[in-house]
Amino acid sequence: MLPVVALVGRPNVGKSTLFNVLTRSRDALVADMPGVTRDRHYGACHLGERPFLVVDTGGLSGVEETMDVLTARQVRLAIDEAQVLVFVVDARDGLLPQDHAILAELRRSGKPIIAAINKTDGLDEQAALAEFAAFGMASTLPISAAHGRGTDELLRAVLPLLPPDEDVAGEVATEDGSIRVAIVGRPNAGKSTLINRLLGEERLIVSDVAGTTRDPIRVALERDGKRYTLIDTAGIRRKARVEEAVEKFSVIKTLQSIAAAQVVVMMIDARENLADQDLTLIGYAIDEGRALVIALNKWDGLDAYQREECLRALDRRLVFVDWARRVHISALHGSGLRELMRAVVRAHASATKELASSDLTRTLEKAYESYQPPLVNGHAPKLRFAHPGGTNPPTIVIHGTRTKHIAPAYQRYLENFFRKRYKLEGTPIRIAFREGE
Ligand code: GDP
Ligand code: GDP
């Protein structure tokens, strides 16, 4: 599973500044579920070839009485789910009693901790480090998140603490040839209802082991002669109450499932308005290059007007994934499931389709002939040939000149052209330009 690094510390020590540097993202995932504090951020970080998740925990005050209980619980969940803890302190404030209290809590987790002494810009680094020597920690690094200083060293210190690299990449095929599917969505979208439907009620053998196992559960499923591996977040576990569903919802597990899957089924409750969180999850799946199917659940019992409203809203807000198939289902009654699984198989087939260099080049020539990229300083960028650069997502490498000047709009044009030519449905496409003759 994708490893997790949690940033923990008092408010205002610079955690979110550090988070932004590490993930280089302006629009991080923000949890906006009930029961999940708003100020937790999640982002992907790539250290060389090694991907991991960074969580900005929002902050512990270190003072139990004044601590927002819910916030503290969420921070503890993040600590629980992380493999490495980065303890952020503020060099300008110096060492405060709350820092000691937080550190004591982190130490109880037994996980590796790195202390990042932040805001050392304009300070004497050695003096700052000396003050925090009282932590008695082997790994104490001076950084300045705001100036991006010391953050590479921090990443280099994190790397050896991550668990050994396993198969986390989606492009690696499952040994038994099954399709790895993650079923994700907000609490109460109907994930566990769907999974139980697919497995059949009698297969509900998985005990409630949320407290004992941290890895998402994988369950084999065979249906209409096709084999799947369902990667579950928490949906396979039996849940008694709605509060429990919210309680157990884990953004981290959701993101880990997406990373481990080949196809993501995004479940949306057709009775609810599409939430920003839905869009953010879809965006994350696309960024990770995953194939995608959108399941509109609870389609039962909606009248014609409601259905039309729902579809109109989706048309408006999901234009950026118009290539993903939308399937109407009722997990409760079991309708639409055959179509859903067919869409999964099709998305997987598109995502793993082998494309031939000669044909890619011919298609590129056709695309280029019918519409050329705008001139740059009087010269047209030239696109010479193409070859495949990988699958899941299908990646097309295009060689040419002045490719740096090719606008995003032209790149989208090419994507669409290739998508049509190869009937790639349900998968994002990557285009990579290479400069040279
Ligand atoms: P968080 O509450 O721990 O997430 O802290 P923020 O990232 O929001 O930062 C709190 C304040 O400290 C902001 O005003 C930041 O601009 C400032 N800050 C963060 N990192 C640095 C740094 O490296 N140097 C200085 N001088 N200020 C910083
Ligand atoms: P999860 O949190 O995403 O796993 O959601 P659950 O599977 O626990 O479902 C949440 C609630 O929605 C439960 O009360 C389900 O019975 C209900 N539900 C799930 N699927 C459907 C459906 O297709 N139609 C209707 N009417 N209710 C559903």
Q: Which CATH architecture has domain 357-435?
A: 2-Layer Sandwich (3.30)
Closest ligand 1 atom, CA of 118? 23
Q: Please report the pLDDT score of residue 125 as a whole number.
A: 87
Question: Ligand 2 centroid vs 331 CA: distance in angstroms?
Answer: 7
Amino acid identity, position 95: L
- Per CATH, the number for 4-161 is 3.40.50.300
Amino acid identity, position 242: V
Does the fold of domain 357-435 match that of domain 179-352?
no
DSSP conformation letters of 353-372: ----HHHHHHHHHHHHHHSP
Question: Ligand 1 centroid vs 16 CA: distance in angstroms?
Answer: 7
| Peptide bond between residue 393 and the one before it cis (omega within 30 degrees of 0) | yes
Q: Are 261 and 352 in contact (CB under 8 A)?
A: no
- The DSSP element (H or E) to which 43 belongs, if any, is strand 41-47
DSSP conformation letters of 223-261: ETTEEEEEE-SSTTS----HHHHHHH--HHHHHHHHHH-
Beta strands in 245-330 (DSSP E): 263-269, 291-297, 325-328
Q: Are 233 and 251 in contact (CB under 8 A)?
A: no
Q: Does 11 appear as a known binding residue?
A: yes
CA dihedral defined by 332, 337, 339, 340, rounded to 10 degrees?
A: 90
**CA distance readout (Å), 74 to 51, 122, 338:** 23, 34, 38
Q: Does 58 appear as a known binding residue?
A: yes
Q: Please report the pLDDT score of residue 330 as a whole number.
A: 97
Q: Does 382 appear as a known binding residue?
A: no
Q: Would you tell me the crossing angle of helices 357-370 and 408-422 to the nearest 10 degrees?
A: 130
The ligand that comes nearest to the alpha carbon of residue 41 is: 1
Q: Is the pTM of this model over 0.90?
A: no
Q: Are 51 and 4 in contact (CB under 8 A)?
A: no
CA-nearest residue for atom 24, ligand 2, is 298
Cα angle for residues 426, 432, 436 (degrees, 5° grid): 155
Q: Is 391 in the pocket of ligand 1 (CB under 6 A)?
A: no
**CA distance readout (Å), 92 to 4, 122, 151, 154, 178:** 28, 10, 18, 19, 54
Q: Could you count the other beta carbons within 10 Å of the beta carbon of residue 75?
A: 24
Q: Please report the pLDDT score of residue 414 as a whole number.
A: 96
Domain boundaries, the chain: 4-161, 179-352, 357-435
Q: Is 118 in the pocket of ligand 1 (CB under 6 A)?
A: yes
Q: Locate 263 and state its tokens.
A: 């196809």
CA dihedral defined by 197, 203, 207, 210, rounded to 10 degrees?
A: -40
Q: Please report the pLDDT score of residue 205 as a whole number.
A: 41
Could you list the pLDDT tens digit for every one of the 437 residues in the chain? Answer: 789 999 999 888 999 889 888 887 544 444 444 444 444 677 777 766 788 888 887 666 655 444 455 556 667 777 888 999 999 999 999 999 889 888 988 998 999 999 999 999 999 888 888 989 888 887 899 999 999 999 999 999 998 998 876 644 444 455 678 999 999 998 889 888 898 888 875 454 443 334 334 455 678 888 888 999 888 655 444 444 444 545 556 777 788 889 889 999 999 999 998 888 888 889 889 988 999 999 999 999 899 999 999 999 999 999 999 999 999 999 999 999 999 999 999 999 999 999 999 999 999 999 999 999 888 788 888 999 999 999 999 999 999 999 988 988 999 999 999 999 999 999 999 999 999 76
Residue with tokens 């789910």: 81
Closest ligand 1 atom, CA of 19? 7
Gyration radius (Cα) of the chain, Å: 24
Closest ligand 1 atom, CA of 143? 23
CATH fold for domain 179-352: Rossmann fold (3.40.50)
Q: Is 217 in the pocket of ligand 1 (CB under 6 A)?
A: no
Question: What are the pocket residues of ligand 2 if the criterion is a CB atom closer than 6 Å to any ligand atom?
Answer: 185, 187-193, 235, 239, 245, 297-298, 300-301, 330-332
Residues 6 or more apart in contact with residue 117 via CB below 8 angstroms: 89, 91, 128, 129, 132, 140, 141, 142, 143
Closest ligand 2 atom, CA of 301? 26
Q: Does 392 appear as a known binding residue?
A: no
The ligand that comes nearest to the alpha carbon of residue 33 is: 2
